[in-house]
Chain A
């Protein structure tokens, strides 16, 4: 089928002079990508699936054994792991909700013409372009109990944001909101500017108020793209490692990705950590699947 759709090569072209056919050219583009995908994505994926059924440890040369579902069984009955999942769930809910609200709010504010709009939009996008490790480090400074500007501005005395077990997770979530709200903003802005102006005019003529117009016209038209932002951010938040790892060592802020890292590269429990990685993958897949189903429904309407 695919070769039928290909157009014929211009006989005067240089490629034709070298004796290449259009199929050769197609393969030249596709094969490197395929090789790359297989070597770096598919192969490790399958290989780690294999490891997850063994007691393999990457730092030891002893022969490993096939242990069946033992890794999975241990992990799913481990209270410690479950508490990591609960922490991760809290983190995902707080940070994604925060990003959606802040990002969409900013987009609503930006969705009009005002002087220096381009500059302001670009500046607002900066946080998301920074390296997460750097963001983590300087927010650590901002949160510093004795001389950090955040406590100074809000008059919180020497409140220890990152070493207080109750607040550490939320402090990280706030940083994540700061960093990733621009992403939601960017997508929302694209969605908002795609709403035709004449619909707003028609609504104004129909004497609809701001809230009525927003809920009846803006929101339904932007919701598909908002859902896409939500999918992306949920997936990403679920996997958060870098910010949290650099910012705090509190066990109450130990996200599942940090747990996974410790298991794989501090305890060298390679087989078990592969199993954990698969559990996380399945969870993320399940959540995104729910979203995608809902997204398709929204789009159909």
Chain B
């Protein structure tokens, strides 16, 4: 169990800068999710912590100790790679035993047996123990590779998009399992993903990475409801937050084709002065359709998701999405009226994209 800290880490590969001045603080026993698009530097961050790469600048601390000169072995971390990296030609059991058998750290046979059995039970792969790894399905391979990580009882678990290669059903199941496993072990987990649903559902804390920089860290709730900038707002959430350019005029949000009233709370946000160019952000679930609502729009598109419908509204050339209950009857090109829950509305500065709530 360990506390991990990255201080001002920069990593360059030749002329390409993968990470810029990264600061990260992962508390002991925390499930931390690093969320970002492909190429944002998530895997590089993991590899830096694991000791497979050395930072160009900055320091990595594990339990307060600078581990710059430590190899992967000394750091005592477990890394579950995207490709599973099971050792070919060996059985599942041999794969699980692999980290326990090197001479220097060899454990007594009884202990090895016990640990493998326990890991297999936890991950429900007992029936696969004597099978060769090339005869496993994707989900089974992933479990084995997680199993290989847990038999060793490492200080930290690092996971590099372990669920991305699996089909949706299995992904959901393993998501819960991983979360339970983390709680059971009480271990520090750093989980990397590009899937914001994974991040929201699993993380105690989420860090959003964009082009090698941490944009925001916080609980999933904070990230979702109070995004620091327009990037986080549009990246997190499915469908993403509606972002519309506009200005503030006397407690009203004036946008190109329509305007909506603001409640007192939203209007009092620091820096929200009249006439300042802003981007208004509103989650689709905070937009609702009502007969007496202030703005008229036409239904541009309807996506039925079973439990709910995602309706795309059109006002002039502006598009806005709203999540409505599935029973709501809407048809394409039907005129509707909508309003928003302005307490949930977030204002971003037009120039920098930073939320006014964060700049204060």
Tell me the A residues contacting B by CB distance below 8 Å.
196, 198-199, 201-209, 212, 216-217, 220-221, 301
Instruction: Let me know if B52 and A204 touch, CB within 8 A.
Output: yes
Sorted nearest first, the 9 A-B pairs with minimum C-beta distance are A206-B99, A202-B85, A207-B73, A204-B72, A212-B102, A205-B79, A198-B85, A208-B102, A205-B72
> Once bound together, how far apart are the Cα atoms of A216 and B87, in whole Å?
9
**B245 an interface residue at 8 Å Cβ cutoff?**
no
> Once bound together, how far apart are the Cα atoms of A203 and B81, in whole Å?
12
Determine the chain B residues whose CB is within 8 A of the CB of A202 once the complex forms: 79, 81, 85, 87
**B164 an interface residue at 8 Å Cβ cutoff?**
no
Closest to B132 in A: A301
Give the distance to chain A from B304, nearest Cβ to Cβ, in Å. Answer: 41
Determine the chain B residues whose CB is within 8 A of the CB of A198 once the complex forms: 81, 83, 85
**B50 an interface residue at 8 Å Cβ cutoff?**
yes
Instruction: Let me know if A199 and B104 touch, CB within 8 A.
Output: no
Asked if A208 meets B81 with Cβ closer than 8 Å, knowing A220-B89, A301-B89, the reply is: no
Asked if A206 meets B104 with Cβ closer than 8 Å, knowing A198-B83, A198-B85, the reply is: no
Interface residues on B, range: 20 to 34
List 6 extra interface pairs beyond A205-B78, A206-B102, A216-B87, CB under 8 A: A198-B81, A202-B85, A203-B87, A207-B76, A207-B99, A212-B103
**B194 an interface residue at 8 Å Cβ cutoff?**
no
Closest to B50 in A: A205
**What would be 28 A-B contacts, judged by CB atoms less than 8 Å apart?**
A198-B85, A199-B85, A201-B81, A201-B85, A202-B79, A202-B81, A202-B85, A202-B87, A203-B98, A204-B52, A205-B50, A205-B78, A205-B79, A206-B98, A206-B99, A206-B148, A207-B72, A207-B73, A207-B76, A207-B102, A207-B105, A208-B73, A208-B98, A209-B103, A212-B102, A217-B87, A221-B89, A301-B89
Closest to A201 in B: B52
**B152 an interface residue at 8 Å Cβ cutoff?**
yes
> Once bound together, how far apart are the Cα atoms of A204 and B74, in whole Å?
10
Determine the chain A residues whose CB is within 8 A of the CB of B119 once the complex forms: none
Pick from B77, B85, B148 the residue with the most CB of A within 10 Å.
Answer: B85
Number of A-B contacts (CB under 8 A): 62
Give the distance to chain B from A294, nearest Cβ to Cβ, in Å. Answer: 15
Determine the chain B residues whose CB is within 8 A of the CB of A209 once the complex forms: 73, 102-104
Determine the chain A residues whose CB is within 8 A of the CB of B50 once the complex forms: 205
Closest to A298 in B: B89
**B239 an interface residue at 8 Å Cβ cutoff?**
no
**B39 an interface residue at 8 Å Cβ cutoff?**
no
Instruction: Let me know if B89 and A199 touch, CB within 8 A.
Output: no
> Once bound together, how far apart are the Cα atoms of A204 and B73, in whole Å?
6
Closest to B78 in A: A205
> Once bound together, how far apart are the Cα atoms of A199 and B145, in whole Å?
12
Instruction: Let me know if A221 and B88 touch, CB within 8 A.
Output: yes
**B271 an interface residue at 8 Å Cβ cutoff?**
no
**B71 an interface residue at 8 Å Cβ cutoff?**
yes
Give the distance to chain A from B161, nearest Cβ to Cβ, in Å. Answer: 13
Pick from B78, B83, B87, B101 the residue with the most CB of A within 10 Å.
Answer: B87
> Once bound together, how far apart are the Cα atoms of A137 and B72, in whole Å?
52
Instruction: Let me know if B77 and A205 touch, CB within 8 A.
Output: yes
Closest to B101 in A: A212
> Once bound together, how far apart are the Cα atoms of A196 and B85, in whole Å?
9
Contact residues, B164-182 vs A (CB, 8 A): none
Determine the chain B residues whose CB is within 8 A of the CB of A217 once the complex forms: 87
> Once bound together, how far apart are the Cα atoms of A207 and B101, in whole Å?
10
> Once bound together, how far apart are the Cα atoms of A199 and B98, in whole Å?
12
> Once bound together, how far apart are the Cα atoms of A90 and B217, in whole Å?
70
Determine the chain A residues whose CB is within 8 A of the CB of B52 once the complex forms: 201, 204-205
> Once bound together, how far apart are the Cα atoms of A205 and B266, in whole Å?
50
> Once bound together, how far apart are the Cα atoms of A203 and B98, in whole Å?
9
Instruction: Let me know if B87 and A199 touch, CB within 8 A.
Output: yes
> Once bound together, how far apart are the Cα atoms of A234 and B341, in whole Å?
82
Pick from A201, A202, A203, A301 the residue with the most CB of B within 10 Å.
Answer: A202
Give the distance to chain B from A232, nearest Cβ to Cβ, in Å. Answer: 24
Give the distance to chain B from A174, nearest Cβ to Cβ, in Å. Answer: 35
Determine the chain A residues whose CB is within 8 A of the CB of B85 once the complex forms: 196, 198-199, 201-202
Give the distance to chain B from A298, nearest Cβ to Cβ, in Å. Answer: 9
> Once bound together, how far apart are the Cα atoms of A204 and B81, in whole Å?
13
Give the distance to chain A from B51, nearest Cβ to Cβ, in Å. Answer: 8
Contact residues, B55-103 vs A (CB, 8 A): 71-73, 76-79, 81, 83, 85, 87-89, 98-99, 101-103
> Once bound together, how far apart are the Cα atoms of A216 and B98, in whole Å?
9
Determine the chain B residues whose CB is within 8 A of the CB of A203 once the complex forms: 87, 98
> Once bound together, how far apart are the Cα atoms of A249 and B293, in whole Å?
109
Asked if A206 meets B152 with Cβ closer than 8 Å, knowing A198-B85, A216-B98, A301-B89, the reply is: yes
Give the distance to chain A from B87, nearest Cβ to Cβ, in Å. Answer: 6
Determine the chain B residues whose CB is within 8 A of the CB of A201 once the complex forms: 52, 72, 79, 81, 85
> Once bound together, how far apart are the Cα atoms of A284 and B27, in whole Å?
67
> Once bound together, how far apart are the Cα atoms of A208 and B87, in whole Å?
13
Closest to B74 in A: A207
Give the distance to chain B from A41, nearest Cβ to Cβ, in Å. Answer: 38
Identify which of B71, B89, B105, B148 contacts A204 (C-beta below 8 A). B71
> Once bound together, how far apart are the Cα atoms of A115 and B316, in whole Å?
62
Pick from B73, B77, B103 the residue with the most CB of A within 10 Å.
Answer: B73
Closest to A217 in B: B87
> Once bound together, how far apart are the Cα atoms of A203 and B79, in whole Å?
10
Closest to A205 in B: B79
Closest to A198 in B: B85
Determine the chain A residues whose CB is within 8 A of the CB of B105 once the complex forms: 207
> Once bound together, how far apart are the Cα atoms of A206 and B79, in whole Å?
9
Give the distance to chain B from A209, nearest Cβ to Cβ, in Å. Answer: 6
Give the distance to chain B from A239, nearest Cβ to Cβ, in Å. Answer: 34
> Once bound together, how far apart are the Cα atoms of A221 and B71, in whole Å?
25
Give the distance to chain A from B325, nearest Cβ to Cβ, in Å. Answer: 46
> Once bound together, how far apart are the Cα atoms of A169 and B103, in whole Å?
42
